[in-house]
Structure 1
């Protein structure tokens, strides 16, 4: 199959779940192109980007030159040179009566140019996040790209984006899109509430379990317990509450080292909080790290802390991939009853879940795990088993190909919803 991925940044250090899908589909023999809105962080590229030569198959669409006059002149030149070959999509991309500011600003025109320069005919157009599904149906509508459109809903696209653009933001997508794949039951229910009542199925993001070796966690000889958080330093990750909880443990004379892996706009604020609480010797912000370095930190850790919250703008998590990775490596979890996290972490089995922003509850559960290392092996094994069964990217990619094939098979369209439900029901039914 020929598959186009429509994404925001690429490559992206924080979105390995998209990379895992792309490389998995290539391994299964499919041809993948990537259309990205902007270049991601190329200073820390995942090894798979180079291994699979993905940048050679990545095309960047944008609104063209920043200068309005230059943008118009270049558009006119390209239009004149290519009108005979691509007249319909080019003219349609300039239809400001139908497409408003996207046509007037030439944003749609320049995106059309990129699409027409490359392979615009695909079997599947796989869009990560709702706004990119909207772009894809628009591009297909004007004839710039062809293929069945699948949209994956993750988190911000179901919260912050809707707060900015209204509950009807995806009505056109629901009408024109071919299939919708929320990554959790939580988001499936939200889509149904918004009026997306068919062409919908849960399909999880996943990880390559072979890259995350399981190890039984044991205390260090000196009794130090290493707690870790792997997250972007943004409000919805709740790192502030993790720091406050760990500070309470340190104040009670527990031997704790807390390492926070990740970067974001809250870094300075969090560093100041660490200073104010007087825990700088035990709590470290080490910034974003490539995956091998992250794994090295996890190998030296005992407990993972993921204190996610709903942000002040309403932004929420999906199901954090970093949490899947730590569980696969055998770390017991302390997290929150937030979004799709209860579909991954079984409370009392692979870890503990507490209410959002509840520092006392976080402290209590962390304290229990620190003082009872004998429960680490059982909890860690339960987490590994659950991730292997329901969040293994190899299995999920095979299921994704089957979803694609059923979508493309006209003769099975009527039974497609049942087929997809059967594919994904194991993960749905298993969720606590």
Structure 2
């Protein structure tokens, strides 16, 4: 099969779940091309980008000459040299009566021409709802292929905030909607998606990258290391996380700890100020954004994973933490309860309840012998349900069934 992946930024350090799908489908013998909206700022890529030679497979659908005169001259040449390949798609992309400025500025024309030049696809695989909208537009304009959209937390939050009508075109044009969790499925139905087109298919991780290593816990001399990984945005609840650490140190008197935070983003300055406000300079370390190898090493060097999020769908980082057998304290948001069984492989707490978060972390700190017991139960869940190799084979079957229906 020829599969087009439509994504935001590629390569992206934080979206290994997309990379794992791409490389997995290539391993299964399929031809995959990537269409991204933007280029990455960070050049520290996952090693699989080079291993699979993915840069030559990546195209940027927002590219067009900035100068209008140059754009018109180039577009004229592209029009006459490619018109025979898909005339109706090209003409529709120039219909400014229907599409307004996006047509008159040649924005849609350049997107259509890019897909026409790369060739025909069996599957248009979109990640995130807004990219599904782009895929629906391309299909409406005349680009062929079965349209599959995987909804993550971001697209669901947009639907909740702006209303399900933002996906009206997508629900009309889409052939399949992949829901990564029960939480997402419920909301897709509420938004107006055809229930018969929704398939529950979670993201997963490459377990060979996250091996279990026995730790020497008895007589541990160093501080207990608590780790949180994520983008510095409101939904990740980092302010609640810092409030929790403040309670651990200054209310419970637990000072033999280190709280490591991996990531970056718009709230960096605000979080740095909170560390000062809560007098946590001696306890909190910001480790910056990390590639997959860096995340793996940090997780192996940690003792407890802490997820203080306000909103989530099905967090991949929680899978990674459990794959290396870390016990977790996590907020009960989205479908986190699919990953964490309260009292078995970690603890679930209400979002925003920093007092209860501190209590559960304090319990784990005081009882290190339970870390490996909980950790092994967590890994068993990931092995059974979130192994990317098994999931990619299932995804291949979904694609084949869609094509077979045609």
TM-score, normalising length from structure 1?
Answer: 0.89
Task: Tell whether the 8 Å contact from 2:85 to 2:116 is kept in structure 1 after alignment.
Answer: no
The alignment partner of 2:204 has SS state of coil
When residues 85 and 372 of structure 1 are mapped into structure 2, their CA distance, relative to the original with a 3 A threshold, is closer
Partner of 2:139: 140
Which secondary structure state, in structure 2, belongs to the residue aligned with residue 347 of structure 1?
Answer: coil
**SS of match in other structure, 1:66:** coil
Secondary structure at 1:170's aligned position in 2?
A: helix
Cα offset, 1:88, TM superposition: 2.2
Q: Distance in 1 between matches of 2:219 and 2:108?
A: 58
- Match for residue 295 of structure 1? 296
Q: Indicate the residue corresponding to 2:75 in structure 1.
A: 75
Q: Is the 8 A contact 1:208 1:392 kept in 2?
A: yes
Residue 269 of structure 2 aligns to a residue whose secondary structure is: helix
Q: Judge conservation of contact 1:328–1:384 (CA < 8 Å) in 2.
A: yes
Q: How does 1:5-404 map to 2 (within 5 A)?
A: 5-62=5-62, 64-119=64-119, 121-143=120-142, 145-160=143-158, 163-164=161-162, 166-196=163-193, 197-217=195-215, 218=217, 221-222=220-221, 224-251=223-250, 252-309=253-310, 316-404=311-399
- Is the 8 Å Cα contact of residues 63 and 106 (structure 1) preserved in structure 2? no
Aligned pairs, how many? 402
**SS where residue 381 of structure 1 aligns?**
helix
Query: Could you say what secondary structure the match of 2:348 adopts?
Result: strand
Counterparts of 1:375 and 1:91 in 2: how far apart (Å)? 65
Q: Is the 8 A contact 1:216 1:330 kept in 2?
A: no
Classify the secondary structure of the residue corresponding to 2:198: coil
**Residues 82 and 113, structure 2, Cα contact 8 Å, conserved in 1:** no
Asked whether the 8 Å contact 2:164–2:192 carries over to 1, the reply is: no
Q: Output the CA distance in 2 between the equivalents of 1:372 and 1:216.
A: 17
The alpha-carbon deviation at position 371 of structure 1 amounts to 0.6
- Other-structure match for 1:312: none
4+ aligned runs moved over 6 Å, structure 1:
none
- In 2, distance between residues paired with 1:112 and 1:296? 42
| Cα shift at 1:67 | 4.0
* Displacement after TM superposition at 1:134 (Å): 1.6
Q: What residue ranges of structure 1 are gaps of 5+ in the alignment?
A: 310-315, 414-432
Across the aligned residues of Structure 1 and Structure 2, the Cα RMSD in angstroms comes to: 1.7
